[in-house]
């Protein structure tokens, strides 16, 4: 009776042949005279009456495998000669050492792929999309490895895939800036080459430049509060560093509002968000010195200056609005009129001069007099009581003091 073939395993193999093929069937009890792949006979071993192991000869295309015995020739089963798969590219060509990167393998002869390996490690998963494409998930690894695909026809050539360490950040400067964004920030760390994203919290940096593998400069986007800045590259996402968005300071008042052109006046600035002030300026001139008392108060020493200027405060959040401060010239005075009066006081006196608008005191021989500022060039005063003789008249303003030496004479009342 002629033998019968029921299955082949595997049903395909390389064109070079030489792979073992198991033939399953019946009636292998008679003397097996040949096993043929198409017209090509090959070597074989009869394992039992239902099993033969044959070595596939070289071939191409799909051929019929048959078994001949002294009882006849079997039916044929198809066996396909497949070309060894080839790979031409892998994309992306790099990923994190932790694995998990989805890569696309392009090549030929990929149908029936049974394994995809990264170096010696099998892909976590893979899907054969077509005879020319496979998608695979990279397993964990290090360094640069060869990715291969294996089918019944053999194992492909390798294409290089590089494992890249995740970036790490060590410092950020400055670590704060205005809520409006725009601050240029320098990030220092390792593994920064190939960075694809810099984020401030959940918001991408406005712009960023990879200067080297250890440094990135980025422009902070608008934001609020304190957030984490991270860097993402082929190796994954870095640790985060703290960055604080600071409100722009606001000034409400300055006191006193004027002082001498020579500077040196201690002023108190009141406002909000003044903590962390880095500069206090009077016009374009920095304060002689300043002290941040609290988030709502700063004391500063006015520098020399002229005219009316804007006082501002600068913090990491930006520069405040300005409040007016006026530099006052040192006053001058002329001869009071009248220049004499009784020791009992009460004499109305007119004092001419310059820069008298901010007059805050008038004294005769050191005794305070009641006064009225008429204009920047005239003050009137009522003499206080005094001793007989000439005394100094002193007019003081926020710009300084002017002294009329012996300018007023106290006269004794007549004796009857």
**Full DSSP string of 225-293:** SEEEEEEEETTEE---EEEEEEPPPEEEEEESSEEETT---EEEEEEES-TT--EEEETTEE-SEEEEE
Peptide bond into 280 cis (omega under 30): no
Burial per residue of 201-211, b for 16 or more beta-carbon CB atoms within 10 angstroms, e otherwise: beeebbebebe
pLDDT at residue number 152: 80
Cβ(107)–Cβ(116) below 8 Å = no
What confidence score (pLDDT) does residue 289 get?
97
Band of the pLDDT at 353, cuts 50, 70, 90? very high
Region of poorest pLDDT, from 240-244, 343-347, 411-415: 411-415
Task: Write out pLDDT tens, residues 268-322.
Answer: 999 999 998 999 999 999 999 999 999 999 999 999 999 999 999 999 888 999 9
Distances in Å between the alpha carbon of 199 and those of 36, 102, 157, 186, 210?
66, 23, 39, 13, 14
Stretch 180-196: mean pLDDT, rounded? 94
Mean pLDDT of 100-127: 96
Residue 415 pLDDT greater than 80, yes or no: no
Tell me whether the CATH fold assigned to 168-246 matches the one assigned to 250-328: yes
pLDDT score, position 414 = 82
DSSP code at position 221: P
- Compute the Cα dihedral for 253, 255, 261, 262 and give only its sign: negative
Please give the average per-residue pLDDT across 339-355, as a whole number.
96
How far apart CA 393 and CA 404 sit, in angstroms, is 5
Mean pLDDT of 126-153: 95
pLDDT at 369 over 80: yes
List of long-range contacts for 360-367, beta carbons under 8 Å, 24+ apart: 360/396, 360/397, 360/398, 361/394, 361/395, 361/396, 362/393, 362/394, 362/395, 362/396, 363/392, 363/393, 363/394, 363/396, 364/391, 364/392, 364/393, 364/408, 365/391, 365/392, 365/408, 365/410, 366/391, 366/392
Q: What does the domain layout of the chain look like in residue ranges?
A: 4-82, 86-164, 168-246, 250-328, 332-411
Token pair in block for residue 66: 């048959």
Q: What's the topology of domain 168-246?
A: Immunoglobulin-like (2.60.40)
For domain 250-328, the CATH superfamily is Immunoglobulins (2.60.40.10)
With a cut of 90, say whether residue 334 has pLDDT above it.
yes
Q: What is the largest CA-CA distance in the chain?
A: 176
Give this prediction's pTM.
Answer: 0.54
Query: 199 falls in which pLDDT band (50, 70, 90)?
Result: very high
- Give the pLDDT confidence score for residue 138 in this predicted structure: 97
* pLDDT-derived band at 351, boundaries 50, 70, 90: very high
Query: Out of 2.60.40.10, 2.40.10.10, 1.10.260.40, 3.50.50.60, which CATH number does the structure's domain 4-82 have?
Result: 2.60.40.10
What is the homologous superfamily of the domain 86-164 according to CATH? Immunoglobulins (2.60.40.10)
Q: What is the percentage of the chain residues whose pLDDT exceeds 90?
A: 86
Of the ranges 30-39, 78-87, 373-382, the best mean pLDDT one:
373-382
- Pairing outcome for strands 176-178 and 241-246: parallel
Superfamily of domain 332-411 in the CATH hierarchy = Immunoglobulins (2.60.40.10)
Flag whether pLDDT at 45 surpasses 90.
yes
Q: Is the pLDDT of residue 85 over 90?
A: yes
């Amino acid at each position: 009776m002629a033998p019968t073939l029921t299955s082949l395993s595997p049903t395909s193999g390389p064109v070079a042949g030489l792979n073992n093929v198991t033939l399953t069937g019946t009636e292998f009890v008679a003397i097996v005279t040949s096993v043929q792949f198409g017209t090509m006979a090959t070597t074989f071993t009869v394992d039992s009456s239902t099993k033969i192991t044959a070595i596939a000869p070289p071939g191409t295309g799909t051929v019929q495998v048959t078994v001949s015995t002294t009882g006849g020739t079997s039916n044929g089963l198809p066996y396909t000669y497949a070309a060894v798969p080839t790979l031409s590219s892998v994309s992306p060509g790099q990923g994190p050492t932790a694995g998990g990167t989805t890569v696309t393998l392009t090549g030929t002869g990929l149908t029936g792929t049974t394994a995809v390996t990264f170096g010696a490690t099998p892909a976590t998963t893979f899907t054969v999309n077509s005879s020319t494409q496979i998608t695979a998930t990279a397993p964990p690894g290090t360094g640069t490895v060869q990715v291969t695909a294996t089918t019944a026809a053999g194992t492909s050539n390798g294409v290089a895939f590089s494992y890249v360490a995740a970036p790490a950040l060590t410092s950020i400067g400055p670590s704060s800036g205005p809520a409006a964004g725009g601050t240029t920030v320098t990030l220092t760390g390792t593994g920064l080459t190939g960075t694809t994203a810099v984020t401030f919290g959940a918001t991408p940096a406005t712009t960023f430049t990879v200067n080297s593998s250890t440094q990135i400069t980025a422009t902070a986007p608008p934001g609020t509060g304190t957030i984490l800045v991270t860097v993402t590259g082929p190796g994954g996402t870095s640790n985060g560093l703290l960055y604080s968005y600071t409100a722009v300071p606001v000034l409400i008042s300055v006191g006193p509002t004027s002082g001498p052109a020579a500077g040196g006046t201690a002023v108190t600035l009141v406002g909000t968000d003044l903590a962390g002030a880095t500069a206090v300026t009077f016009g374009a001139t920095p304060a002689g010195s300043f002290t941040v008392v609290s988030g709502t108060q700063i004391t500063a020493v006015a520098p020399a200056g002229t005219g009316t200027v804007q006082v501002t405060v600068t913090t990491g959040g930006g520069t405040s609005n300005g409040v007016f401060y006026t530099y006052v010239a040192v006053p001058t005075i002329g001869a009071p009129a009248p220049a004499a009066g009784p020791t009992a006081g009460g004499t109305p006196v007119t004092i001419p001069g310059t820069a008298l608008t901010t007059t805050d005191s008038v004294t005769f021989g050191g005794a305070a007099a009641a006064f009225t500022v008429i204009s920047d060039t005239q003050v009137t005063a009522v003499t206080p009581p005094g001793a007989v003789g000439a005394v100094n008249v002193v007019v003081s303003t926020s710009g300084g003091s002017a002294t009329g030496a012996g300018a007023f004479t106290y006269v004794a009342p007549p004796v009857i």
